[in-house]
Chains A and B, each alone.
Chain A
């Protein structure tokens, strides 16, 4: 069993206060296993969450709930490999990845 990271939601609260994502189209860079993805996804309109680690992307895909599955897309890519039209997103989130 893995450690329980930030169970009281300090990071979620900081994100909600400083960078509310309600209704926004979000690009998440370095999503890993989706830890932050699943915290911000309920408010966002959509999320493209990418990480170059294919194993962690598979883990994230396995963990996504049915309610979030329609608005969250995971892809095994680096930031520079995201190939979508310009201005496709309202917000980019670098998740512990810079």
Chain B
């Protein structure tokens, strides 16, 4: 979602949830790192998402907090790991992103499986505030 789209969505959802209900936001905060047992072999880059969409979404969430729609109550960060038994499985699942990264694709094809990808994720719980 783009910035204004996120604000619009958060405002719309605010009306759908009971006052004092909860908003839970879970999203990655990093691009996906690829590793094998021998160590890291690269990052699946998503420049538009990491440089534009993610900061815009974070800004939109802060904006709706300033508007008095939500209040942050708790936050936790963790890594989500995904396991792949073969290079083909990994390349097929990430085909859209890897098309623009031939060097990383070649390193994946040359590496010995299994593969693990990881993304750092933030989970936030916010209170849905009643309209003043």
Given contacts A2-B93, A19-B22, A91-B21, contact A82 B12 (CB under 8 A): yes
A34 → chain B, closest Cβ, in Å?
A: 14
Which residues on the A side are within 8 Å of B67 (C-beta)? Answer: none
Q: Which residues of A contact B15 (CB under 8 A)?
A: 86-87
Given A11-B121, A27-B17; A36-B26 close (CB under 8 Å):
yes
In the complex, which residue of chain B has the Cβ closest to the Cβ of A95? B26
Q: Is the interface of B mostly helix, strand, loop or mixed?
A: strand
Q: Say yes or no: is B117 at the interface (Cβ < 8 Å to chain A).
A: yes
CA distance A1 to B5 in the complex (A): 34
Identify the closest chain A residue to B13 (Cβ). A92
Which residues of chain B (9-57) have a CB below 8 Å from chain A?
9, 12-13, 15-19, 21-28, 57
Q: How many residues of B contact A (CB 8 A)?
A: 41
Q: Which of B44-103 contact A (CB under 8 A)?
A: 57, 60-61, 74, 76, 78-85, 89-90, 93
State in angstroms the CA–CA spacing of A94 and B58 once bound together: 13
Instruction: Give the size of the chain A interface in residues (CB under 8 angstroms).
Output: 37
> Could you list 17 further interchain pairs (A-B, Cβ under 8 angstroms) beyond the known A1-B85, A19-B24, A97-B27?
A3-B82, A3-B83, A5-B81, A7-B81, A10-B78, A10-B79, A15-B24, A18-B76, A19-B22, A80-B12, A82-B16, A87-B17, A87-B18, A88-B16, A92-B22, A92-B128, A98-B61
A interface list, Cβ under 8 A from B: 1-8, 10-11, 14-15, 17-19, 24, 27, 29, 36, 78-80, 82, 84, 86-98
Query: Which of B's residues lie within 8 Å of A, judged by CB?
Result: 1, 5-6, 8-9, 12-13, 15-19, 21-28, 57, 60-61, 74, 76, 78-85, 89-90, 93, 117, 121, 123, 125, 128
